[in-house]
Amino acid sequence: MGWLRHRNKGTQALAAGLAVLFVVLGIWLMVPLKSSGSHSEVREIAQPIQSNNGSVIIDAQQQKVAAAGEAEQPRDGTVGQSAAGYSPQSAGTGGRSADTTEPLPLTETAGKPADTAYKSGQNSQELAGEDLTTDLLFSLIERDKLNYLRIGDSHSYWDYKPEDKIFYSDPDSTLFVSLTIPDRSSMGREDYEALRRGVHVQTASGESVAFTVEGQNSRGDEAQQVVIHLKDAPKQPLQVKFTSQDGKRSRMIELHYIERLSYTVNSEQDAGLAKAFRISFPEGVNMPRRMDAAVPYQLQIDFSADMDHSSVENVLGKQLANVKRTMEWKGDRSLKLTLEFVESNIGQTYLFSLSGSRSMQGLELKQNEHMIFIPVSRVEVKAADLSTHTTTSLFSGLNNFDTLSVSPNGQWGLMGEYVENQMSAELIYTMVDHQGQIIRSFDYLEVGYPQWLNDGDTLIYMKHTMKRQEVWLYNTATRDERLFWKVPDAAADNPKQQRIVAITVDPYSEEIAIGAGAFNDEAQISVGIQWFASSRETKPGQTFKDLSHYTCYEGPCSAWIQFIGKSKLYFTTMNLLQPQAYPEAYFMDTGTGKKAKIDGVERTGGYSEMRQVIPGSDNGVYLRIDQQENGNEVWKIYDVEAGKSSEWETDLKMLKQAPFTGFHLEENGRIVFLTKDKYWYAVDPQKETVIPYTNDLLPKSSDIVKTYGSERNILWFGTDTAPR
């Protein structure tokens, strides 16, 4: 099958749509983190004080505490959440390292008994006449003059007003108390240290709770935060007490323990739904669920606490505004949600997340796991045999896959679906029989570079796309699986270890080529080829060293290595001395090891280029389209068997209609392909022309859903099964 140098453009539309959606999701999740002012500086005022069983000591370990949106004015019931996960040790330094000062010597006892205690929301008019200027920050807490109160755990945070009932679920939660100093910044430091000394945490029965207390300021000295870290607190109500400098007054903030609010999602119609939901966070994998738009889709949602029905319905209403839905509650914790789609919903992307709904107790659900739903139509998969001029229907099924590779005997198909992780789009694979029934579903990142062997039943692939060290064989007929080859002295923890970057199979012989290499300190890799005469071999028959060179800073990294004809191996390499040039293209005869350069192009900055390898029955061709500065295109075709190339310039501007799919060779040497607008074209290297193309064997443009590729003179494509 042909392989585009650039990522599958058909997938880029989905990836771009998902990227926009996740940017919107990220903005929605991160809105509470935005401050009303600039966060030009965040620095630590002093090292933390640690208290355990009522004694005050200096914690020698310096800790960086997240500002977590300091100096923000929260709305009523504001709840913040970090899409990337909140970490008290790493977040909120504003991109600068925290400045620290030497701790003051402390000898007094935290939690000193107070003469007067004030609870949350109490009016402090009776304090009139007190000299508040000598205890400014305490007086602000005492009078509830706060920017916000915030509870944070490892992934989320919740903002409260002083009069709210405040919940915590993590025994190691962090309490943020944000203050603004009015025009007395010169007094802030001493006052702040006194405030920290007066912090004490205890249970409702008076038992001391271990904690550390530290602080931050931002925007100069105007905004201050008292940051209190609980240390393995008991799962019961707690009292956080602030005591004045003279020990005569105190202000108490009550924290109420509640089990963390969460939910799970399952579907009897979709076995992969629960896993896709689970790995969306923290793995950051977005695995869209494509469901039949003609069939109602049922979800079973289970909550960990009694839920406010109206809040759940409100969240769903915003996400699924144009989708018909039915909600059946069983009690207050179990919900059956049925979604019914119409034709106008097909192809649309819907976010599903119940974050933002509330429990009966008023706690807002904060859970980063989410789902992407895409209603799809059904597709009929067909094979057009270009040698016999016949078309065969393979199977009918959901249009829920992006790639399809059919085994040489036509009995099996390997379907691939693109999913997004934090760095790239990866394929997750499903094996089906000739009727479209699922034989095996491979796990995410389990399979890389899959290729069919010529026996018709065996799949060769790289196992575990992150480790990239082993090549396995899977027999679809017998379900047997075995290790075929692994890199020498494989060790996952060795950064200099070789990594597999390509696997290719000659469709006209039994030859197998595996590309592997190790990176140096400059992120450059030199790729060698392990060549096997067949899958029956137990070790490589030849090793071709240092064929391909390139630089890769972000993995996973792959090399373009592909059989272009019988015993002819195509590969690309970068001239590291000319970084402004496009990769040079070569082919090598695996029988003799002789190499020949077939292309090398100077980069014309800012313009487009596309390359394609189209295998033939015994030979193949190489195609390159290069856009020039004047907008014209240079088309170059190299025939491997003839050893000749043709090159010409045209003003057709075909790259505007990319991506191209459905590449295949006709017997007369013409290259046929399909544009993104689903029009067929033929490239004639003899006449040096590119013209529209018709053939009764090929599907009409109006019928095509997508093409899946060609091999062994067979083109696979899908047509819409919906009645017209």
481-528 tens-digit pLDDT: 999 999 987 666 676 788 999 999 998 889 999 999 988 888 889 999
What is the mean predicted confidence (pLDDT) over 455-474? 95
- What's the confidence (pLDDT) of residue 485? 97
| C-alpha–C-alpha distance, residues 689 and 233, integer Å | 76
Structure tokens at 688: 């040096």
Query: Considering just the CA atoms, what is the radius of gyration of the chain in Å?
Result: 32
Picking from 212, 244, 249, 242, the residue whose alpha carbon sits closest to that of residue 230 is 212
| C-alpha–C-alpha distance, residues 420 and 19, integer Å | 9
What SS3 class is residue 418? strand
Count of Cβ atoms closer than 10 Å to residue 281 Cβ: 18
Which regions of 609-660 does DSSP assign to beta strands (E)? 609-615, 620-627, 633-639, 644-650
Cα angle for residues 49, 53, 55 (degrees, 5° grid): 45
How sure is the predictor about 144, in pLDDT bands with cuts at 50, 70 and 90?
confident
Which helix (H) or strand (E) is 14 found in, with range? helix 9-30
- DSSP letters for 245-313: TTSSEEEEEEEEE-PPP-EEEE-TT-TTHHHHHHTTSSS--B--EEEETTS-EEEEEEESS-B-HHHHH
pLDDT above 90 as % of the chain: 52
Picking from 111, 116, 148, 117, the residue whose alpha carbon sits closest to that of residue 226 is 148
What SS3 class is residue 13? helix
What SS3 class is residue 137? helix
In angstroms, how far is the first alpha carbon of the chain from the final one? 32
Q: Which residue has the tokens 């060293």?
A: 545
Distances 657 to 185, 612, 703 between C-alpha atoms, Å? 63, 15, 19
263-375 folds as Immunoglobulin-like (2.60.40)
Structure tokens at 334: 């179990």
Which helix (H) or strand (E) is 197 found in, with range? helix 188-197
| C-alpha–C-alpha distance, residues 396 and 375, integer Å | 17
| C-alpha–C-alpha distance, residues 440 and 476, integer Å | 9
Least confident of 160-174, 348-362, 481-495: 481-495
pLDDT in tens, 264-301: 999 999 988 998 898 888 878 888 999 999 999 999 99
The one-letter amino acid code at 240 reads V
The one-letter amino acid code at 417 reads E
What is the mean predicted confidence (pLDDT) over 80-97? 32
Does the pLDDT value for residue 121 go beyond 50?
no
The one-letter amino acid code at 467 reads K
Dihedrals phi, psi of 699, to nearest 5 degrees: -65, 150
How sure is the predictor about 585, in pLDDT bands with cuts at 50, 70 and 90?
very high
Q: Is the dihedral of CA 656, 659, 662, 663 positive or negative?
A: positive
| C-alpha–C-alpha distance, residues 402 and 407, integer Å | 17
| C-alpha–C-alpha distance, residues 660 and 681, integer Å | 10
Structure tokens at 16: 């771009």
Top mean-pLDDT range of 1-10, 310-319, 496-505: 310-319
How sure is the predictor about 184, in pLDDT bands with cuts at 50, 70 and 90?
low
| C-alpha–C-alpha distance, residues 568 and 476, integer Å | 28
On whether the CB atoms of residues 563 and 615 are closer than 8 A, the answer is: yes
Top mean-pLDDT range of 131-140, 212-221, 397-406: 397-406
On whether the CB atoms of residues 476 and 461 are closer than 8 A, the answer is: no
What is the mean predicted confidence (pLDDT) over 549-566? 88
Does the pLDDT value for residue 179 go beyond 70?
yes
pLDDT in tens, 672-716: 999 999 999 999 999 999 999 998 888 888 888 889 988 878 899
Cα angle for residues 581, 560, 490 (degrees, 5° grid): 120
Encode burial over 27-65: b for 16+ CB neighbours within 10 A, e otherwise: ebbeebbebeeebebbbbbbbbbbbeeeebeebeeebbb
Structure tokens at 565: 């004809």
What SS3 class is residue 55? strand
Q: Which residue has the tokens 């956080």?
A: 240
Cα 95 versus chain centre, distance: 23
Cis peptide before 495 (omega within 30 of 0): no
Cα 666 versus chain centre, distance: 40
On whether the CB atoms of residues 581 and 575 are closer than 8 A, the answer is: yes
| C-alpha–C-alpha distance, residues 379 and 296, integer Å | 18
Q: Is the dihedral of CA 11, 277, 465, 533 positive or negative?
A: negative
Cα 7 versus chain centre, distance: 16
Dihedrals phi, psi of 191, to nearest 5 degrees: -65, -40
Dihedrals phi, psi of 132, to nearest 5 degrees: -80, -15
Cis peptide before 692 (omega within 30 of 0): no
Q: Which residue has the tokens 């960990």?
A: 304
Dihedrals phi, psi of 14, to nearest 5 degrees: -65, -45
What SS3 class is residue 371? strand
Greater confidence (556 vs 503) lies with: 503
Structure tokens at 494: 């060795």
Does the pLDDT value for residue 618 go beyond 90?
no
Which helix (H) or strand (E) is 661 found in, with range? strand 661-665
424 Cβ contact list (under 8 Å, min separation 6): 556
pTM exceeds 0.75 for this model: no
Indicate where the chain has its CATH 2.60.40 domain(s): 263-375
On whether the CB atoms of residues 70 and 216 are closer than 8 A, the answer is: yes
**Side-chain half-sphere of 331: how many Cα atoms within 13 Å?**
9
How sure is the predictor about 57, in pLDDT bands with cuts at 50, 70 and 90?
very low
Dihedrals phi, psi of 134, to nearest 5 degrees: -90, -5
| C-alpha–C-alpha distance, residues 274 and 280, integer Å | 10
Q: Which residues is 391 bridged to in the sheet? A: 384
Top mean-pLDDT range of 34-38, 236-240, 442-446, 556-560: 236-240
Looking at residue 345, what DSSP letter applies?
A: G
